[in-house]
């Protein structure tokens, strides 16, 4: 198969996307941080405390008037069977996702000749790739469970956009969302596939700089072996932990126990893959390895107050299977 498709299980269902700004004529769609005032001494000698930044939920952002712009970090590949075409990205130029109020459309913009991705939110590109823009009318989406799917066909090419609301224990995450975009062109080698997380990114000044944290983790995705697709959602498990105070090295550790099922057939255990990554701003990238791996990577970000939520997109090429998807969750107390 040229591409694997993410699907939702009974519970819920993989560009990690970052809310950047509102654009165009209308109310800004992202929260504006409260300016940090200079502490003012009081008669008792106690300075006025610095107010915490405020956050809107993704639902509130999307309900507000005006245009919305999300830039992303996640994973991408050109033609799934080509392992060398896979890469993680944590920049703001690889893929952009818009809501345009004037014509009520969602738009995906991506470069067709992207420079090599860099593990920082601000890439240093050596060329300016040609950008492709695809529009989907907002009202054309079909919602099943937690996924809304948009699709359009032009000639031999089919473009598919999926907007996914991740859940934890049956409850929607507040600040984190998933996006998948696939451009399939029959009979050509110009297929592009993106898996992205977007949402209300943690302000850089609000992200913890000391201490460690663990997060609950829900795994989403699909695997393909010998032309058979397996749903990983609902069967797989994972872990995610962060050392916010560590300088360099492996600040993030994660694991994915990939277990899939094809229809009502018995489940298949694809094994456990382990990952390590580094933080850049409020985003991060890393690599995945396993006993049967040829390549694997992930890219994601922290969302909400004090990195309350996280999400990342991932891919993994095994010796006899390929897989891609998402992981997301909330910080443990």
Q: Are 100 and 26 in contact (CB under 8 A)?
A: no
Q: Are strands 283-289 and 212-215 parallel, antiparallel or unpaired?
A: unpaired
Contacts of 206 (CB under 8 A, 6+ apart): 52, 53, 305, 306, 307
pTM for this entry: 0.79
Print pLDDT tens along the chain (333 aa). 444 334 333 222 333 344 444 433 333 444 444 444 555 545 555 666 667 789 999 999 999 999 998 877 888 887 655 555 666 766 555 788 889 999 999 998 887 654 333 333 333 333 344 578 899 999 999 999 999 999 999 988 899 999 999 999 999 999 999 999 998 887 666 688 899 999 999 998 999 999 999 999 999 999 999 999 999 999 999 999 999 999 877 899 999 999 999 999 999 999 999 999 999 888 999 999 986 777 799 999 999 999 999 999 999 988 889 999 999 999 999
Q: Which domains does the chain have, with CATH numbers?
A: 17-28+53-330 (2.40.160.90)
Element (H, E) at 59: helix 58-63
**Token pair belonging to 236:** 């797989």
């Amino acid at each position: 198969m040229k591409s694997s498709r993410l699907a939702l299980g009974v519970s819920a269902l993989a560009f990690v996307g970052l809310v950047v700004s509102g654009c165009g004529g209308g109310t800004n769609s992202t929260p504006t941080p409260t300016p940090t005032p200079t502490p003012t001494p009081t008669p008792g000698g106690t300075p006025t405390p610095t107010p915490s930044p405020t956050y809107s939920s993704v639902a509130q952002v999307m309900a507000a008037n005006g245009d919305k712009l999300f830039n992303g970090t996640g994973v991408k590949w050109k033609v799934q069977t080509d392992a060398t075409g896979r890469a993680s990205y944590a920049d703001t130029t690889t893929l952009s996702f818009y809501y345009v109020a004037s014509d009520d459309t969602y738009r995906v913009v991506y470069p067709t000749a992207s420079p090599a991705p860099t593990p920082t939110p601000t890439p240093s590109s050596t060329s300016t790739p040609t950008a492709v823009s695809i529009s989907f009318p907002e009202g054309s989406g079909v919602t099943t469970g937690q996924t809304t799917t948009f699709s359009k066909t032009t000639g031999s090419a089919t473009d598919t956009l999926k907007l996914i609301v991740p859940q934890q224990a049956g409850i929607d995450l507040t600040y984190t969302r998933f996006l998948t975009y696939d451009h399939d062109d029959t009979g050509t080698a110009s297929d592009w596939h993106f898996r992205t997380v977007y949402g209300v990114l943690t302000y850089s000044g609000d992200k913890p700089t000391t201490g460690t944290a663990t997060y609950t983790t829900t795994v989403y995705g699909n695997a393909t072996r010998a032309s058979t697709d397996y749903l990983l959602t609902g069967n797989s498990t994972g872990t995610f932990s962060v050392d916010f105070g560590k300088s360099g090295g492996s600040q993030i550790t994660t694991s994915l126990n990939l277990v899939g099922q094809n229809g009502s057939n018995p489940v298949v255990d694809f094994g456990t893959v382990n990952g390590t990554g580094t933080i850049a701003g409020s985003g991060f990238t890393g690599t995945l390895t396993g006993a049967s791996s040829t390549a694997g990577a992930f890219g994601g970000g922290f969302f909400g107050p004090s990195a309350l939520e996280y999400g990342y997109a991932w891919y993994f090429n095994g010796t006899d299977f390929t897989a891609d998807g998402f992981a997301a969750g909330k910080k443990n107390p």
